[in-house]
Chains A and B, each alone.
Chain A
Amino acid sequence: MSQQFTARRLAALAGASAVLVGLVGCSTPASEEEAPPSASGDATTAPVEPGDSTGVTEDTVTIGTHTPLTGPAAAGYSSISAAATAYFAYLNDNGGVHGRSIEYIVKDDGYNPSTTQTVVRELVQQDEVFAIVNGLGTPTHTAVLDFLNENEVPDLFVASGSTSWNLPEQYPFTFGYNADYVVEGAALAQYAADEHPDKKVCLLGQDDDFGDAMIEGAELVFGTGGLTHIERYSVSNQDVTAQIGALQAAGCEINLLATINGFTALALGTSAQFGWFPMWFSSSSGADYPTLVTYLGEDVGPQLLQGLVGTNYLPSLGSEDEWVTLFRQINEDYNDGAPFDGNTIYGMSVAYTFAEALAAAGEDPTRESLLAAVTSGGLTGNGIVPLSFSEDNHAAYLGVGITMVDQGVQDYLGATYAVEGGTVTAVEAAPIPLENDALPAG
């Protein structure tokens, strides 16, 4: 910098700083020792109030989320927040919850943990949201886990199957939504063992937590080292020929997939090129039929996907479920008729679950009453088994159902498995019926 520039800037800064130092009061902590940082900028949190109602006004409740709308990860996920927004618009048009409409602020983080930290702080400290709902992604949400819990912000229904969200002791404010990957891996493996006891089972997994957890789940069933062959792929390389070749060479008959939708499509497409048609058992993260068809193309997709086994815990797209019918209608009316797929159902289901929790949190919700509503065990959600939230369990779904694609329709087969304490058990599915047009009354 030139010296004149520096000198002038220095003078200006010195002058400005004199003014700023005068403003010290506006940034010093509130008088209590343990004041949460978020409350320091203003003095709205009066101690007489029974709880923290940040983000709640007479007629609105403001909540926020972080999700990738740009960057390579946006392709698979950007429709989730749009679906949730559509459901909230439907809910608000029908009176909201306890007369309050829900404002859902969606922030793009590009699946970059550093951006996630920035936007979540903005949501909490600038936009003063009541809760973070359905923040998406394992690495991204991991980056804000400590921040949200230190600031005592309800961190509801994280969109990822990592087991990190179910740590009530360490992270009392965080709750997961997806059935975790261990559960999914175990359920798929158990189904394989039950239905095809003599077949060689292998696994193709992403080279991160996702793959590790699925392997862990599968080994609950088959024992450590019980899988015939394991191959890993990296999202940065869209060529899985070498991996598929190795699976084929190992004589695999059933391939468990810990893959996101794009790589499920790649795996199926590549093996079809080899003329190799084993059975594919995919995690719910990579088993969404409409999405897979768009990847594979309308012409060959349906044929390749015939018989694809997957897991799910939400109303299934292929069923004539009343939830699905309603969600389809909401998608038409409030989401500009965007493509209706598993992500749409997922986004609306999460939004519905939040509305249910908010309704249960009472006429005048506080962060405390919201958490109490979730941990009370009274929430049902809209899945094929009731939500399993409780004081000491922050995972939404401990059981999943097995789905299969048949003639272009993906629906439940009936087999449902739950995992508890490291053992897999078959359970009865108990789908939650639609009530009051998905408008929680409280």
Chain B
Amino acid sequence: MDHLLFLIATGLARGAIFALFALSLVLIWRAARIINFAQGAMALVATYAAFAVTGMTGSYWAGLGAGILAGAAIGLGVERGLMRFTRDSHPLAGIIVAIGLVMVLQALLGIFFGQQHRPMHTPFSDSPLTVGGVPLLSPYDIFVLVVALAVMGGLALLFNRTSMGLQLRASAFSPEVSRVLGVRVSLMVTVGWMLSAAVAALAAMLLVPTELGLNPHSTDVLFVYAFTVAVVGGLDSPVGALLGGLVVGVAMTLVTGYLGATFAPIGVLVLLVVVLLVKPGGIFSMREARSA
């Protein structure tokens, strides 16, 4: 029982990061109907920026802020410089251009920074607090959970309570009508990309300190699992991303703890297959996918 509690607590913190990153994929999907395969690599570039700023100023928070800004700037650059041109092209152009971008960014990071891991530190202790003899969440885990929930809450407010949010939603769901009504749809798509890339950068910056360190491949696994989370939850659904992230995080830790580490990727695949077979649009898909 203690072991179970311990595994669930561990999984939750990791799941929160998956959830945050998955949310960033959902944001882009809602804004531009593109699965951004380059999200991991873009977030990684932002994390390198954060690493550099922290190195220069000695402040974790300055690095975090710089990383988020860098994330947004990269989102802007990628949308205006590349993705904008995929829309009237081949239907799969968005995905394929993003895959190309991953290769370009990873190659550039490898060329400029080399392959070695650079350690990143957490702003709070990562020793778990013990409750009744069972090590549960560490202060850093709690920080991650709080940040993740705050970002999600903030985004919910932005989308549901502000005029900007309304415009974002309108241009995502019905761009032509929105344009007629005076919404600057193209600007809204750009804003969606910036928001999404900034959230992804935040998720990457939260994850990297808990792992081996910063490296051109640090976000490969994060992207894959977050993508799984987004698909399981339903690409249209922020709630799906949140719950999916926590479920996948906990499930992975449980599988690792009880069945062995080797089995975890298989477990995730099984989850993916089962969910997609039962609900092809993800658990929280609002409606049948809009087929024509």
Q: Which residues of A contact B (CB under 8 A)?
A: 69-72, 74-75, 78, 207, 232-234, 236-243, 245-246, 249, 262, 265-266, 272-275, 294-297, 299
Contacts and interface: CB of A to CB of B under 8 A. Distances in A.
Interface stretch (B31-39, B82-90, B252-260, B270-278): B252-260
A274 B211 contact: no
B127 A236 contact: no
Given A234-B261, A294-B116, A265 B7 contact: no
B213 A295 contact: yes
Nearest to B140: A273
B276 to A, nearest CB: 22
Given A237-B256, A238-B221, A239-B211, A75 B117 contact: yes
Contacts of A74: 115
A245 B119 contact: no
Nearest to B222: A238
18 contacts: A72-B215, A72-B217, A207-B262, A234-B264, A237-B265, A238-B221, A239-B210, A239-B253, A242-B10, A242-B261, A243-B261, A249-B2, A262-B117, A265-B212, A266-B211, A274-B128, A294-B117, A295-B212
A251 B110 CA distance: 42
A232 B212 contact: no
Interface in B206-237: 210-213, 215, 217, 220-221
Contacts of A232: 260-262
A297 B212 contact: no
A207 B261 CA distance: 8
A265 B14 CA distance: 19
Interface in B82-124: 110, 115-119, 121
Nearest to B255: A242
A239 B14 contact: yes
A241 B7 CA distance: 8
B212 A238 contact: yes
Interface residues of B, number: 35
Nearest to A265: B212
A237 B261 contact: yes
Interface in B176-215: 210-213, 215
Contacts of A299: 121
Contacts, number: 89
Given A238-B221, A295-B117, A245 B127 contact: no
A110 to B, nearest CB: 11
Interface of B: 2-3, 6-7, 10, 14, 110, 115-119, 121, 126-128, 135, 138, 210-213, 215, 217, 220-221, 252-253, 256-257, 260-262, 264-265
A234 B110 contact: no
B120 to A, nearest CB: 9
Contacts of A239: 10, 14, 210-211, 253, 256
Contacts of A246: 3, 257
A296 B119 contact: yes
A172 to B, nearest CB: 35
A344 to B, nearest CB: 14
Contact of B262 (A72, A234, A242): A234
A245 B135 contact: yes
A274 B127 CA distance: 6
Contacts of A72: 215, 217, 220
Given A237-B256, A265-B212, A294-B117, A242 B217 contact: no
Contacts of B10: 239, 241-242, 245
B252 to A, nearest CB: 8
Contacts of B217: 71-72
A249 B3 contact: yes
Q: Give me the 5 closest cross-chain CB pairs, A-B, nearest first.
A: A74-B115, A242-B257, A238-B211, A297-B119, A242-B256
Nearest to A262: B212
A207 B260 contact: yes
Contacts of A273: 126-128, 138
